[in-house]
Structure 1
Amino acid sequence: MGTTRIGQTISLHVKENISLYLFTIVLFTMGVCFGAVIVNSLEQQQKHDLMNYLGQFFTEFKQGTNVDPQTAFQQSFGQYIKYVGFMWILGLSIIGLPIILIMVFLKGLVVGFTVGFMINQWHWNGLLLAGASVLPQNLLVIPAVIIIGTAGVSFSLRLIRSRFIRRGEAVSPYFFRYSALVLFVVILLCGASILEAILSPLLMKPIAASLLS
């Protein structure tokens, strides 16, 4: 019953905010493209420093000194919860609306920069590495960010309408729907953390070994 209700809430939310979803997806995509462009604008010294950092990380990863699934899950899930919790709080205020949009854009920028840098430095091996290290968890993280970003913007717009256009309009039903979507996003991010802590390291290990050989 609870699962059906959450599904109905998500379906109704998407139907009511389809234009906002399209805008959020475009904004995220712009962030990805901008992040990929930034890679080409890096100075050689900056690329060298990043390569040294990644080389040290892969060396430790290959030796197994930094692979602890439980710790990795806790750190990953903790970061995701802080990110989503902050976006949820921003959605409860009018002034938080532009910050939510900035966070969606920046998330896309980080993904675009990470994937773009790996491909720029290692070409096909970089593409494989990005697929192993970035893709699994982001199959859930990206939809989660788009959902919570759109829901936050939608609720913030509801607040604006209730205060300045339709004064006295009840926002409590939308608040409960907004909070239900946040719970759904938390479930997605829990799954993303499991993938990041368990699946990604398994996929990355042979690729990291080939890069260091």
Structure 2
Amino acid sequence: MFCKNCGAKLDEGSKFCSGCGMAVNAEGKSPETVAENPQPNPYMNQQAATMENAYQQNTYQQNTYQQNAYGGTAYNAQAQAAMGRMNNPYPNQNYRQPDPMQQESVKMRNFKINLGNKEMTSGIIWISIGGLQVLCSIFAFWYLIIVGIWNIVVGIMRITKKGELYQKSGIEIYNEYASRLTSLVVFLIVNILFGGIVGIAASIYDLVTRNYVIQNSYMLRNEE
């Protein structure tokens, strides 16, 4: 056992502490003495356990933060996406050249659609007239076969013209139809001689279509 006053070890049976001279009781023990193996304090043990748990929890949180910051799935996904944007400044690989019709004004677009429909109608009329003329040449007027084939070819050209209009500019359309007057007049004379009333009506329809373009010359020649 030890002296509580100075902490020196007490000899067995001594009445005074050899270190500080403090008296020892009759049983050889002093109220100031301390047992060699003191009993553990439950409160201190509980406090130590609480501190240990707090330390372990803090260590786990730090490890979790490091894992999320450098190895976590969410971080990796965001990092890969960011690197992808840096490595590929043009992410849209399927870029298509814009359709010219989508960049035009609404008025110009409607004009081309209407003109294309007129050309389609004209083509159907000329193919029908040419077919009738070829048929008549078989049974009666052989010379009509030339005019009939000519009208069929012209009708096919009118139908294909509809698709070509969408790719042309306004000034190109205007120049083409403005220079078409002579050919339309010649076509009208030929159909007056060999095409009959139906051929004359189709020729007049083409002249009306040309006039539709001339009336919109300001828009066509000043297209932005």
How high is the TM-score relative to the length of structure 1?
A: 0.29
Q: Higher helix share goes to which structure? A: 1
> Quick one: higher RCO (CA 8 Å, sep 6+), 1 or 2?
1
Which structure's CA Rg is the greater one? 2
